[in-house]
Structure 1
């Protein structure tokens, strides 16, 4: 199966690249242009990215692009509830691979805080995100199980987190893999981004995307909630 075989909804566009390096470079160029456009128009740009290992090449390419990072706010679509120093921390990943060199001038708004419980941590993150400027660029990933951000199938709070009418911005979520405790932006906040990209690699992710397009049960495959007009899909084998 190729991405051209997918029956995409109207307004959703797909881009295929030969290698992960090519995908990372082209995505970085596009995102830089979108950030610069936002800075020119409103004086500030907000970038929300996903963690994990897949985006590292994109981060490393993005910091080479000509962007006035002093006018950029960076945040995370989701976070593992572990200290920044922990190997599994998404914030730690960003500090190592994105918030370096010129990009170190960006203002980072993280989700992690050392609250007593995951619920308390989510409530604190929710209050902090109330001050996040409107999202100009959102970069999402996707797992083989159809999760994106930390919106996992069958996770407690999933229905609330996917309810766009719910004004809450951050939810405590539980992943099926270690570390289990997560913090995730809500669908309402994520979907508010002006520019939205789903970046995925490999045939298994393409198969999951095909499954998502073939059904309507968002709880089973949360990525379905994001397959809406204006979404750009970047894929490579």
Structure 2
């Protein structure tokens, strides 16, 4: 099955690549182009990315792009509630692969807070995100269960996190099958991005995307909340 076989909503554009390296290069080029345009038009550009293992090659390619990184604000769609030094920290991942060289000049707004409870960490992250300029580029991933960011199917706080007109920017989330508690940007904040992108790889993810497109229950598959007309999908086998 190829992504061209999927029936995508009107306006959703799909880009098909033969390898992860070609996808990463093309995605980095597109993101940099959008950031440059935002800087030219508004003097600042905001990029929100997802963590995990999948985007490492993309981060490395993006770190080599030439633009005025001092005018870019970078944040994360979600984070594990672990210190930056922890191997599973998304902020730590960015420090190793993206916030290097000239990109270190960018302003980074992380979600992790060292607090007594996850709820307190989410509250503090929510306040910090009040300083986040409007999101120009959003790069989301997707799990095999249809989650995106840390918006996991049927998890506690999901209903609030998926409110289209919600006022929260960050909420505490729990993943059903992974060990760490999470912090996640809300649907309302993520959906405000001017240029949203979904980057996925593998036939399994393509099957998940097909299933997501076949229904409309966003609690069952939260990625459905973002499969709308302004989305661009980058996929490779």
- Is TM > 0.5 for Structure 1 vs Structure 2? yes
Per the normalisation by structure 1, the TM-score is 0.99
Query: Tell me, which stretches of 5 or more residues in structure 1 are unaligned?
Result: none
* Structure-to-structure mapping, 1:52-131, within 5 angstroms: 52-131=52-131
Is contact 1:60-1:98 (8 Å) kept?
yes
- 1:137 and 2:144 matched: no
Match of 2:22 in 1: 22
Tell me how many residue pairs correspond in the alignment. 237
Per the normalisation by structure 2, the TM-score is 0.99
Query: Tell me, which stretches of 5 or more residues in structure 2 are unaligned?
Result: none
Match of 1:232 in 2: 232
Query: What's the RMSD between the two structures over aligned residues?
Result: 0.6
Distance 1:62 1:166 in 2: 31
Match of 2:146 in 1: 146
Match of 2:167 in 1: 167
Residue-by-residue CA offset, 1:56-76 (whole Å, 9 max, x unaligned): 000000111111111100000
Match of 2:40 in 1: 40
Match of 1:196 in 2: 196
Q: CA deviation at 1:178?
A: 3.0
Is contact 1:80-1:182 (8 Å) kept?
yes
Distance 1:115 1:15 in 2: 41
- 1:221 and 2:218 matched: no
